[in-house]
Structure 1
Amino acid sequence: SQCSNALAYDMHGSLLAAEHGARRVSRQKADGSIEILADNYEGKKLHSPNDIAVRSDNTIYFTDPPYGLGRRPPELSFMGLYRIDPHGKIYLEGEFYQCPNGLAFSPDERILYLALTEADEVVVMDVAQDGSTSNVRSFARVPYPDGIAIDLAGNIYVAGGKGVAVLAPDGTQLGTIPMPRIPANCAFAGPDGKWLVITASDHLYQVKVPIPGF
């Protein structure tokens, strides 16, 4: 798995992986073949792709902090948010220096949420019809934010610190799901989509929530 940190399915049912070890984003097709979608930007090797979000038109977004580099020297001078369009072209959507990490779309896909882990902040940006992003702005302060999930009402669940922060679409904190260990990521699951599954170190938790995710 090359130390895959994030997994997601594209709109064709292929499995996408952000591979720390191989420093790339790959796609595994139904026949088991592996396609490399991104392993460099302008000829310089990526740090260690971390998280993935897929838009309904099959545009892929991923973050590239240095967490998986270890002692390997970086080739890029920044930490990027990238977009891969449906034709496979890679775009740099933003340069960040506070470890861009988890990311997720609003239900209408007009807003992209991004965790800046070392800044203790979640930012948002507008997403245009062509997939490009703009107007990056602060959304909420969350201790050590990592993975993000969104429910059908547009509420934002951010794993980090001592639990999972639950935020309204306007950034108001609705509450926190306390955790015995520092959570790294969260996702909705179950037949009704109302189970929030949370990863934390070597543990996996699930919590029933009132509104399903998507």
Structure 2
Amino acid sequence: MRRSTRVSSDLKADRSLSRRTALASLGAAALTPAWAARAALPAPPSVVSTPARQWGPMAPPSAIPDPDIIVLDPSFKDLLFPNANLELVWRGGGWLEGPAWSTEGRFLLLSDTVRSQQYRYIFDDAPNADPARGPDTGIVSIFRKESFNANGNTFDTEGRLVTCEHGLRRVIRWEHDGSCRVLADSYQGRHLNSPNDVVASPDGAIWFTDPAYGDTTAEGHPDADGPANPRKALRPFIGNEVTSEHGGLQRQADHTFRWDPRSGTIEAVLSQDQAPGPNGLCFSPDAKTLYVISSGKAPGQQGPAGDRKIRAFDMSSGRPANGRIFTDFTLDGQSLIPDGMRADVFGNLWCGASGPLGLCGVFIYNPAGRMIGRLRLPVGCSNLTFGGEKRDTLFACCGTSLFSLTTSTQGAGFS
């Protein structure tokens, strides 16, 4: 039986803290093994579950089935491992984003947008490990000391890491020889906004969204002279001399882009009118449908703004067409905020949701757009992915923390 984990006081505070405040409260403490970070701080009971739930390696086992795994349709039970509990596996980030599983390296890559670093989470399955650390705990180390406010990540069809960088407003790829290649940093002669999420398609193309959610001092830098800094009061080049090379930055319209592996050029496959405020994106397992999340209004938003909905597009001759609303992302009459998502091998969408306590967490939709289940978490979820050796473990980035759940499904290959 899996042991539950415990949320600390600063995790509980994530519900009301801004990203910048959360970062300031955590300070610049060095990363530590997951068990030490969790065990060192007190943990209040959850106010979500009844009876009140404890999270932490020393907490009593949670009930089976987990009270925070909520089945809304019988089909959701087929995706669940009956003995699994939601677990808090690591806490200590600033604002976690862009989880991506390296099948070859067998590690989870994470971006910390506000600390401008990337982390590597590695399972620690040593047989003589301290039992107080609990099951499935791991070690977190710095993967990239300066990531230029990296956000979304993916591994392409050849296993190369592709990353979106807010700070330098570009999409890069790390080659097998260790060199870095810039895939995209401008469109029609203008710098990109803040590339957000990225996925690879079966034909080797790279798809990414380019809203302006990262055009802020906390997660990148604002415009030098443009809509994301209309009064010109913010100085975008303070704190990182490298960004000074990108002077005169101005926000442009939102786009969803496709990078072509043959020509090395990018194409705007969806306009702001077709997918306003684009954020997370993924393909269905057969790559015949593209899903794009529309989040809230971004800095300097002009024209159609994000409406907190998920759109679906048919892939026609390699390009999206026939756009439609897949879900309005509401629960109990409240409009929650979608961010990132991934598809499983059966075509279900697992979507991060932020909003009021008790409603936020992860929403699961079947291919017809019906919510079949949800994972109730003590803080909103920004992004998620499937990983583990069998690709059956869901990892969810939630503010400063990383949660996991062992499932009876697997992540789709092109999500």
TM range (shorter): over 0.9
Matched residue SS, 1:176 = strand
Say if 2:394 is the partner of 1:196: yes
Give the conservation status (yes or no) of the 8 Å contact 2:193–2:252: no
Structure 1 residue ranges, 4+ long, deviating more than 4 angstroms after superposition: none
Range 64-73 or range 42-51, more displaced? 64-73
Q: What letter corresponds to residue 121 of structure 1 in structure 2? A: K
Partner of 1:82: 257
- 1:95 CA displacement: 1.7
Say if 2:356 is the partner of 1:139: no
Q: What letter corresponds to residue 144 of structure 1 in structure 2? A: I
Partner of 1:93: 269
Query: Aligned to 1:157, which of 340, 343, 350?
Result: 350
Query: Aligned to 1:5, which of 143, 151, 154?
Result: 151
Q: What letter corresponds to residue 316 of structure 2 in structure 1? A: A
Query: Aligned to 1:170, which of 343, 365, 368?
Result: 368
Partner of 1:115: 293
Partner of 1:126: 314
Q: What letter corresponds to residue 125 of structure 1 in structure 2? A: F
Give the alignment's TM-score, normalised by structure 2.
0.50
Q: What letter corresponds to residue 138 of structure 1 in structure 2? A: I
User: Structure 2: how far apart are the matches of 1:89 and 1:67?
Assistant: 24
Q: What letter corresponds to residue 79 of structure 1 in structure 2? A: D
1:39-118 equivalent positions in 2, closer than 5 A? 39-70=185-216, 71-72=222-223, 73=226, 75-87=250-262, 88-96=264-272, 98-118=276-296
Q: Is the helix fraction higher in 1 or 2?
A: 2
User: Structure 1: how far apart are the matches of 2:378 and 2:156?
Assistant: 33
1:11-26 equivalent positions in 2, closer than 5 A? 11-26=157-172
Matched residue SS, 1:205 = strand
User: Structure 2: how far apart are the matches of 1:106 and 1:11?
Assistant: 16
Q: What letter corresponds to residue 277 of structure 2 in structure 1? A: C
Query: Aligned to 1:205, which of 398, 403, 409?
Result: 403
- 1:107 CA displacement: 0.4
Higher relative contact order (CA 8 A, sep 6+): 2
User: Structure 1: how far apart are the matches of 2:377 and 2:211?
Assistant: 25
Coordinate RMSD, CA, aligned: 1.3
- 1:187 CA displacement: 0.3
Q: Kindly provide the CA deviation profile for residues 129-158 of structure 1, in whole angstroms up to 9, marking residues without a partner as x.
A: 3x2111111000222111111111000011
Q: What letter corresponds to residue 257 of structure 2 in structure 1? A: Y
- 1:76 CA displacement: 4.6
- 1:85 CA displacement: 1.3
Q: What letter corresponds to residue 266 of structure 2 in structure 1? A: I
User: Structure 1: how far apart are the matches of 2:164 and 2:315?
Assistant: 22
Partner of 2:49: none
Give the alignment's TM-score, normalised by structure 1.
0.95
Q: Is the strand fraction higher in 1 or 2?
A: 1
User: Structure 2: how far apart are the matches of 1:137 and 1:186?
Assistant: 23
- 1:77 CA displacement: 3.7
Q: What letter corresponds to residue 176 of structure 1 in structure 2? A: R
- 1:89 CA displacement: 1.9
Instruction: Figure out how many residues of one structure are paired with residues of the other and give that number.
Output: 213
User: Structure 1: how far apart are the matches of 2:182 and 2:295?
Assistant: 27
Q: What letter corresponds to residue 403 of structure 2 in structure 1? A: Y
Task: Specify every segment of 5 or more residues in structure 1 that has no aligned partner in the other structure, as ranges.
Answer: none
- 1:110 CA displacement: 0.6
User: Structure 2: how far apart are the matches of 1:188 and 1:100?
Assistant: 22
Give the conservation status (yes or no) of the 8 Å contact 2:212–2:251: no
Partner of 2:115: none
The percent of aligned pairs where both chains have the same amino acid is: 34
Give the conservation status (yes or no) of the 8 Å contact 2:173–2:180: yes
User: Structure 2: how far apart are the matches of 1:78 and 1:136?
Assistant: 19
